[in-house]
Structure 1
Amino acid sequence: MSRLHIALSSLRSKVILIFFAMLIVPFLLFAYYTHVKAIEGISNANTSVSHSFLIQARQNFEIYLSRLNDQLNDLIGNKQLQDLLEKPPSGLEEERAFTVNMLTFLNQQSSAVDAFRVHLYPLPPGSYGDYMYTIGASDILNQEKWFRLAMNTISPLWHLSMPSNGRYAKPLLTYSKRFTGLYDRDPRAIISADISEDQLRRYFSPSGNIAGQKLLLLDENGQVIYDSSANEWTGEPEIAERFNILTAGTEISETLVIDGQKYLASRLKLDSQPWYLVSLSPLSELTGSIDEINRLMLIFLVAYLLCCVGVVIYLTSQFTQPIVRLVQLMRKAEKGHFHHQSAWSHRNDEVGWLYRGFISLTTQIETLIEEASRAEWKKKELEFQVLSHQINPHFLYNTLESIRWKAETLGRSDISEMVAALGNLLRLSLNQGKEITTLRREIEQLKAYVQIEQARMGQNIRILYSIEPELLSLPFLRLLLQPLVENAIQHSIRDNFEQGKILISAYRVKDDIVIDIIDNGNGIPKETLDKLHLDIRKEALQSTGTKGVGLRNVNERLALYFGDAYRLQIQSSSDSGTTITLKHPVMKMENPQLNQESPESAAVL
């Protein structure tokens, strides 16, 4: 008894009981009368309008199918595609090259096909293992019925797929056809075009004049291959059995009962395909006898108005006033007044739950405010610690400056110059903790490094700079050039400082800064260069030993910041030395203070 009392005392139960007594019972009687009159008053005009609409939709869709077929034929006749499929690859390298070239071609050409996406499956698929694996069709494709049929016939095929996962987990209608070479009859591949529900909706959307109207596309077996109502019936076998009546003749109008609802079905057969276009209009929406219904509606409205007056009085006293009081308490809470213990309510319905929830919420807000205050205090303590740690680099700069001054005092200019270069290198490398510097500062850091290396090795390093002046002020990712020049010194010209030289050139190509680091040394060993050309993100750090670490680091940072298009390009041979090309996008200057150094000349020796 106690549970029944609590259920009946809830706001939802009260509303259900009140509106059931006032609305549901009268509406049941009214709905029965309306239903009978609607069946009697179905308008022939609706059938005529639906039929005209289907004719127009069929014409538009037939045009689309013809255009899609022409677009695929144009793609099949493309000489580049035919050349790629002329013969199967003979090795792993050719397979990889084929995969890259084919995917690039499809990516460029598929935009000309009015379809959701385009697939191409070379024949035989076993000779293109790398490509089939890349597109995710290596294991299951040969087992699918549609693929086996497409391999054995030259006629285009249609099939419906119902993907349950992936980026597009919705039904897809696929058009597939096998094609041969332009000058022979050897099967080359199967091309498929997926048509999504968004594309079908352009041709098969209900007119919108009738609520609940559906537009279906059926195949010759009565299976639904498109449903305008979010594909509710698409691909359902049990639904296909109910539409068997619609698979005879070219034009038909029938009354169907589906899931307990009656529909007026208008059907039209397509010319180019054995498909049927069906319009389903709920009979409950096609009512007649408007005058009689209006008279009954007037009587109902008078009775409904009287009932509503009583409902308003009851709702105002039982629900509106308590909610208004709760709103007032919430407004006080907005001003910071959270102590409202008097707001507690012992009601067992939703209003009582709102009051108790409000008190619980204000209590949690007070707790969160206290926690936020403590967190803010901790944040200030951490900020103070960060400011304190910033003193350490300045201390190091001052120490290096003192060493340089003492070296000059003792007449050791070589030590003074080396310490000055080290301090400058440290200052430019730290860059105040920022990743972005300018090309000018990057060049200065490089010169400081070269100066230190010359002093350390006791050898003169011949390095030339050819830099367009307007590039010096552009933003540049720090610590890119020094590792590359270090690699050139250590692995290319170190054994021959007298003849070895390095050229640094920087120029702009469209929206990129292009920098070439060229040396005339012995070049990078072939095995190291081959490993560097692999995707370094998948290579273990020790894969190339100690050689190439700087190159991989720069390559990794460029790809991480700007994408794979900005990876290093390396050309090396034992005869002509090594050329490393670095591309860096032109970025907008966010901190003008980085560009306050004096300008440098275009070519500096």
Structure 2
Amino acid sequence: MPANLKYWYLGLSIRSKFQLWFLPLLLVASGSIGFFSYTTASNQVLEKVSQAQENISSQTISHLDYLAKDIHDIYNYLSLSSELHDLLSPEPTFNSAIIVNSMINRLLSTRQFFQSLLIFSDGHQTIKFNSLNNNEIISFEEYKKSRIYENTVNDVVSGAWGVEEGPLKLFIGDQRRKVFYSKVLVNPENLVKEGLLVIGMTEEDFRQSYGRAKENVEIVIVNGDGTILSDSDGKWSGSSFEQLPYYDHVPIEQVDWSNHDGEWLISHSSSEVTGWHVLVIQPRTEQLMQLNAIRWLTIGLMLLILLMNAPLSWTISRLFLQPLKKILKSMREVQAGDFSQQVDVTLRDEIGQLGNGYNIMVTRIRELIQDVYQSEISKKESELRLLQSQINPHFLYNTLNSIAWMSYREGAEKTADMIQKLSDFFRYNLSQGADIISLSKELNIVESYLYLSKIRFADKLTYSIEVAQRLSDVLVPKLILQPLVENAVVHGIEQIDEQGFVHVSVRESSGDLHIEVTDNGMGIAPDRLDKLRSAIRSEKRAAHYEDTGGFALLNLRDRLVNHFGDGAGIEIDSKRNIGTTVKMVIPFRHLESEDMRSDGRV
């Protein structure tokens, strides 16, 4: 499957590939922007909601602490009242009941949320004040059976808060749930426990004391023992904390306030005055619904991208493909043989560089073809001249041999030898049209030329040829050595009056064939020698350097490089009025021999 998919992908056009990649990139980009926008906005909303909940929680704690302190003030006021303690004593005075009754009525009338006050005592009838109704109250004995009574007795100093739950009803027949504060009443003079003071209010009024929550915001007040005193909806009052669904129904002693159900936003605060826990709760989803606009905007943007992808990617890809199509069209023309093609590219980017590079390549190919064409023409002309020079060579040999024979008959032996050497020179020079000859034949040409030159200069010239016998069969290009010897004679020996000497050496060294021609002629001037060396090192054709005066050397250099490669070369060393040495170096691995050719090894 991956191989088929790769084959299908490679067969797509650039425009199709552009659309294939362009669409996912746009979708990923827009989706990422929408995701990060939604995430950032939701974090900001949740942070603001959390701050608002913290403010609500702090305000609720403040209101409830004020309420609790007010109740503590009422208790302190009554506990310090000598009339109340007198009323609860075994022998109360006649007017203590009137004074206490007036005092309590005055206290309750000045408090907005307190509707009832009960004073239980084992030695006195229960004192009852209720601004709501005259219902019968619970007996002290029944009250002692409740958990709130147990908590009150166990904490004489602070007292206890409670709420009517189960069968516990402070006022029989009153269905309104009461939240109340219970504390032992102690005589400050003798510290005798004289009774129990209970101050209460309806849960609805208790709820109003901390203010009604906003819509979808729930406030829950939990007592220190895990009893829910009140909540903003009134549905949890009197229940246990374990019944709340927000903390996985764990007991309040084990709860981790920061670890709650993720569907809810919950802020927690606790009161240092009462020990109450205040929870402010909101559903997370409802708070994030206002961010749905970002979600729908992202979806709409992605749909818009899907609709605009085809025309947009087609337009953009056209900007890239138009110059490429020009180049492809021109390449087809070049393939058909039109090397005059040039692409008009005005861009300066990578495509423009490609177009300019293509134009340069076509121009160089055209120039190379022209050079090859001219080279082939020159080669054909040379072959034609060679063929013309080889027309009936036997006539020339036979004529020279006849002249030499007649010279011998007439006693002109020296003349006969010259004619014979000249005949040999022409015969080896032509070599039946062969371009490659053995080194021994090349040396025969050199020896014939030196012999004729020696006679010409009337014994002014002497020469020597030094070559190892095993190198005689090595094949070399024809006339590769004779031009060097001719240069030594014409430009070296001919220019001096003293005795001239030419030495030819052929040897093998370090895997190369070394050929040296040394003369004791007049040498080469330093400036001309520098030009000649520079021309030899140059890669340009020898015909361009006729002004150096070393055309034969440069032509020989070109022949060596063409035949043996860059490993072959010429070195020249000369000193004025001392002489000149020209050395040719040919890699031995490129050389053949007549034995190798006859054996079929090359």
Interval containing the TM-score (normalised by the shorter chain): 0.3 to 0.5
TM-score scaled by length of structure 2? 0.35
TM-score scaled by length of structure 1? 0.35
